[in-house]
């Protein structure tokens, strides 16, 4: 205690600036992960013990239940505050939910291949807004692990050094980039630092919002359950604060990878919310009572 940050060590903060992620371990208990995912199989209509019933191998379910992170996972909350520059910059309530992303054996019939630029599915998150360098809608990318997530078991592929290429792309497009508008085929080959986001149930990866990542193969066919809730900021990010230290770690990381000390940025088009196609697809996994799916993630 008494350090610069509420939860993160200086080493973790430095790792975030350099490689775009930290993993906060044990943000909630295995028992909590158990009850939170209790209704998942009945919502899917699959038998947990009978893989022959697992028709779809990857399902992104709608969010029905929500938990306020501040009380549900205080350590994660403190780490988020550390990364985005303090509680006062976060639009509250900051919630996680049960919009599970389930990997039951994606491309399990193909030989295992580690993450490379050639892996399929690289993307930036945020299908619900027009992207600018300073966008407030997705202050962080988060991967909440609701089951153990192991090597070759569907652990999300992460391109740790994608912040620079994506930041430069956004800086070059002040008119905004649509959710599927990133030129991923030219951005990913610039990346060389690939990892699998493995961990235990209750661990949480907090990543820079520009980090490219991809659904991984699950050759083990062991059910893998995560969520990817965004953190919403009250105000757009700033890259021209009076003092370097006033920049959040996310802003510092962006400037670091742009190779700039300051980068004033003004969008040249209005900010825009976009209704994701995802919400329409998800309706089939709502409860039998027919509850409508909620908002982002
Ligand atoms: O399934 C995964 O591991 C990643 C999911 C993801 O990135 C997404 O749904 O946006
Ligand atoms: Fe994603």
128-182 confidence digits (pLDDT tens): 999 999 999 999 999 999 999 999 999 999 999 999 999 999 999 999 999 999 9
- Reported as a single tens digit per residue, the pLDDT across 109-130 is 999 999 999 999 999 999 999 9
Helices (H), the chain: 10-19, 30-36, 40-44, 69-72, 74-84, 163-171, 184-187, 249-258, 277-282
Give the E-state strand segments of 5-129 in sequence order.
21-24, 58-60, 66-68, 95-97, 101-103
Nearest Cα residue to atom 1 of ligand 1: 215
Residues 6+ apart with CB under 8 A from 277: 127
How far apart, in whole angstroms, are the C-alpha atoms of residue 5 and residue 87? 12
- Evaluate if pTM is beyond 0.85: yes
CA torsion through residues 15, 21, 23, 28, sign: positive
- State in Å: Cα 122 to ligand 1 middle: 9
- State in Å: Cα 260 to ligand 1 middle: 31
Residue 229 predicted with pLDDT over 80: yes
- Ligand 1: residue of 121, 122, 197, 214 to mutate (most ligand atoms within 8 A of CB) is 214
Domains of the chain, earliest start first: 10-285 (2.60.120.620)
């Amino acid at each position: 205690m008494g350090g610069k940050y509420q939860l993160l060590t200086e080493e973790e903060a430095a790792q975030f600036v350099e490689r775009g992620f930290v993993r906060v371990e044990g943000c909630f208990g295995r028992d909590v992960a158990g009850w939170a995912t209790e209704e998942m199989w009945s919502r899917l209509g699959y038998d947990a013990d009978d893989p022959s019933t697992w028709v779809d191998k990857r399902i992104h379910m709608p969010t029905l239940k929500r938990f306020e992170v501040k009380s549900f996972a205080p350590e994660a909350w403190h780490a988020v505050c550390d990364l985005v520059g303090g509680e006062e910059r976060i639009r509250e309530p900051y919630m996680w939910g049960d919009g599970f992303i389930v990997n039951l054996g994606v491309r399990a019939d193909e030989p295992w291949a580690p993450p490379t630029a050639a892996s399929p599915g690289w993307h930036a998150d945020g299908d619900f807004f027009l992207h600018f360098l300073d966008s407030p809608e997705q202050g962080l990318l988060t991967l909440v692990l609701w089951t153990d997530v192991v090597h070759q078991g569907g652990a999300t592929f992460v391109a740790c050094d994608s912040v620079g290429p994506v930041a430069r792309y956004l800086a070059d497009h002040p008119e905004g980039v649509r959710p599927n508008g990133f030129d991923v085929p030219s951005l990913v080959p610039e990346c060389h630092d690939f990892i699998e986001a493995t961990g235990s149930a209750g661990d949480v990866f907090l990543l820079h919002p520009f980090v490219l990542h991809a659904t991984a193969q699950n050759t083990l066919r062991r059910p893998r359950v995560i969520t990817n809730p965004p953190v919403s900021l009250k105000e757009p990010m700033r890259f021209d604060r009076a003092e370097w230290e006033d920049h959040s770690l996310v802003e510092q990381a962006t400037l670091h990878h742009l190779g700039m000390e300051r980068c004033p940025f003004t969008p040249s088009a209005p900010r825009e919310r976009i209704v994701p196609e995802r919400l329409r697809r998800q309706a089939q996994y709502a409860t039998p009572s027919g509850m409508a799916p909620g908002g982002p993630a």
